[in-house]
Amino acid sequence: MEDSLGQKWKNREFALVSVADLSSVSSSASPGIARFDSNGLQIHQQSQQIPFNVDLRTSQLFRLGSVQSVCMVEDSDADQKISYSKGVTIQFRNEEESAAFHSVVQQWKKEANVQGTYYAAVIENRADFNGRIVVDVGAGSGILSLFAAQAGAKHVYAVEASEMAEYARKLIAGNPTLAQRITVIKGKVEDVELPEKADILISEPMGTLLVNERMLESYVIARDRFLTPTGKMFPGVGRIHMAPFTDEYLFIEIANKALFWQQQNYYGVDLTPLHGTAFQGYFSQVSYQLVFQNIGVDIEMHCRGSNWQTEFGRDINNFIHYCLQPLGIYLLSVPVVDAFDPRLLIAPPMFHVIDFTKIKEEELYEIDIPLRFIASVGARVHGLACWFDVLFNGSTVQRWLTTAPGSPTTHWYQLRCVLSQPIYVMAGQEITGRLHLIAHNAQSYTIYLTLSAKMWGPGAEQGGILQTSSCKLDLKEPYYRMSQPQAYALAQDQQPQPLIQTQDIHIQSQELDEPDIMQQPSPNRCAQIDSLMQNV
């Protein structure tokens, strides 16, 4: 379970050069403080005793400049039954603090969206929790345990293996009316013993692509050890959604990372001998030993001046994590985590269901998903886009938590697997393939992806595969491409389509915050990348 908002943003303050109340004619600007807490944001003005309270879920925040912003909230007069807007302008000391403030706001909203869904799923299904025994698996700060107690649980056992258990005890103790029905147990679900069986399991076991961090296995173990045969799991079902995408910007960005290895004088070292290997490495696994022997000593001077052989014990994974990734250098192919424009999807998505109430632990060690899509438009397919959702199957209300593109952004974002060589498809052409996930000891998965374009048009039934492209990716430490979805121009033969509305999930479009309008890459640039790939 992720840290609660109260713990994550507690004591996060920003000094303000000036704060001015827009709703008061007599108010003058004066210095102040912006402070985040579990309820949202408070803006304190030195000249005013009462802070300006901001509910970040409903308020609107606009940048007026590099260091100045305005915050608008809706309010009402209970006596006169009048609704109105009020706001404040705030000015930061510099651009860095302004950017950090807005970053915290975005992270708060992402976390609030997830926890708000959990809270609604629990409170709307009080009948499932009232008078029942609940186990919170991987309790983290204990926020879900408090939700369960609010819904009337007879007793909640909050099981947490990490040091977060101490924070959970403090948070729960601070809510004495609920604390008497919650017991925090520090330990792994595989090892701890509980005095009674549970009627409800609640947890946030999801990672990137649903399965990263392999917390689902602990969730299933807790089910087998603690849950009664008729018990419920919140959530009870997860779905991995997949669709092919086209994104020239992303493809060129990844290809350009190989330009680092075209330097002939990097601290006196010629890196060009590894250019071909490194280029392929951004799309598929490279030889660790080759990279380790050829560049480790030379980059050592750029890694805090330490002796990499001694500090990292010749562990290439530590070397890559601590030395190369901070420089933006990725030597093996990793999936991309970001929020993207859903119009980049070129076919309706499909999904793979994981039923947490039935799946066996060993079935999570290897997940094999056959792929089949029908292209909606003609495009270059650059890879496979993935996201997930989970179902809280309550007796009263069924509620979904989704990470789909176009829906409110969560801290999971979406994930994209980029092929080493794009494939070309026409509208109506069939795309087949396979997404194969194999668990490894680093609490994550190796991803094997293959996509193929089949023959299309008259006589396609007798035809075979025209193009095939594949990649091998490590889910453990993806490339976090933290940018807002870009506004892409549609191709001439592409029409807007509601591609990600699947079954019972309705996803509404989301207004993008200050999108950067980008032009499509030139055909010459795309041709240069294709030529480069064919020559390495």
Residue 8 near residue 146 (C-beta atoms within 8 A)? no
**Type and span of the H or E element at 252:** helix 248-256
Asked whether the CA dihedral 88, 91, 97, 98 is positive or negative, the reply is: positive
Distance of CA 345 to the CA centre of its chain: 18
Of the candidates 466, 512, 464, 506, the residue with the CA atom closest to the CA atom of residue 487: 512
Of residues 213, 217, 248, 300, which has the active-site annotation?
213
Residue 167 near residue 177 (C-beta atoms within 8 A)? no
Of the candidates 377, 379, 303, 388, the residue with the CA atom closest to the CA atom of residue 353: 388
Strand, helix or coil for residue 487: strand
Of the candidates 233, 242, 238, 232, the residue with the CA atom closest to the CA atom of residue 207: 238
d(CA 144, CA 153): 12
Catalytic residue list contains 204: yes
Of residues 111, 204, 248, 300, which has the active-site annotation?
204
Catalytic residue list contains 361: no
Secondary structure (DSSP) of 59-122: -EEEE-SSSEEEEEEEEEETTTTEEEEEEEEEEESSHHHHHHHHHHHHHHHHHHHHHHHHHHHH
Of the candidates 453, 451, 458, 454, the residue with the CA atom closest to the CA atom of residue 436: 451
Of the candidates 234, 174, 182, 231, the residue with the CA atom closest to the CA atom of residue 204: 234
Catalytic site positions: 204, 213
